[in-house]
Amino acid sequence: MALASMLDAVREASRRRQAVPLFVCCDIPVTEGVIRACEAIGSPAILGLWPGLLTRPGGTEFAKWIQALAGQSSAPLSLMLDHGKTVEQCLQALSLGFTDVMYDGSILPFQENLANTRRVVEAARRMGAAVEAELGIVGSGSDYAAFAAHGEGLTDPQAAERFASESGCDLLAVAVGTAHGQYNSPPQLDLGRLRQIRQHVEVPLTLHGGSGLSDAQFRSVISNGISKINIGTDLVLAAGQAIAEESRGGGALYFRLGRAAREAVSARAQHYLKLFRRLGRGRGPRVLTSEGPPR
């Protein structure tokens, strides 16, 4: 199946109170495991690539390999640049055939973030690609305890309304208490803030830093307006654990280790694919007051 923008699938997920996952594809075993999971479940998913991968030797070739593999898949897939930090990185991804791009100007002043996002949107429109932008700071899990204690950088609902309207972005990533990487304390989600943002913003909302949330927390954010969720860390942790277990069992053979990693990634990706589409099919967000216990 040919790669195509995931915008329609995310919009449909928003209508149904479901979510489409973006799986960060950092190498070949992880990518193969993710695609196998998507084929097994038959659900749409986004393959995400960091911009740094494109600057490494063979990086553009790796992107082309993913495009070729995904193009042969029976699953509906898209290829998105994840956290493009500059307009130029987004333009490079578009020129390479990425179906969607994320411009992350969240650390910039509001007006600069807005202006740069507009430039990316204009370029993406000509290519038939969708654009995700970000407003608010999604911190690092290794600093989460201090970050959460101060509550700084969370997305302001009124600012989000203006940003989404004036930038023309198709998706908006918001900061409501998640972080990238492994959390050093249990994640605390501001569901009230998320509900307010959902009331102010018309485009689908996205969540970064999904690894480490409980299933109950995932259900809460989806029910309260999140329609796309990024998963990366959990996949590589699962792969690493599978490799370690295979080694301890006396099977430290290269191809066995790779197979163990792919199978572990596929199992975790299938879990998320099933979970994110398990909610009801009604219109509009269903308000939940419980975040659920962290795991």
- Can you tell me whether residue 123 is helix, strand or coil? helix
Q: Which residues contact 193 (CB under 8 A, 6 or more apart)?
A: 154, 155, 157, 176
Residue among 140, 138, 148 nearest 173 (CA)? 138
Cα(232)–Cα(269) distance, rounded to whole angstroms? 10
Q: Which residues contact 99 (CB under 8 A, 6 or more apart)?
A: 3, 4, 5, 6, 78, 79, 80, 129, 130
Taken as a whole, the chain contains a residue count of 295
Do the Cβ atoms of 179 and 139 come closer than 8 Å? Answer: yes
- Does the annotation count 104 as an active-site position? no
Cα(185)–Cα(58) distance, rounded to whole angstroms? 37
Please, where are the H alpha helices in the chain?
Answer: 7-15, 28-41, 51-55, 59-71, 87-95, 110-127, 144-150, 157-167, 191-200, 215-223, 233-248, 254-276
Please, where are the H alpha helices in 75-227?
Answer: 87-95, 110-127, 144-150, 157-167, 191-200, 215-223
Cα(70)–Cα(85) distance, rounded to whole angstroms? 25
Query: For residue 21, which amino acid is it?
Result: P
Residue 220 gets the label, from left (phi > 0), alpha (psi -120 to 50) or beta, of: alpha
Cα(71)–Cα(101) distance, rounded to whole angstroms? 18
Catalytic residue selected from 82, 100, 190, 234 = 82
Residues serving a catalytic function are 82
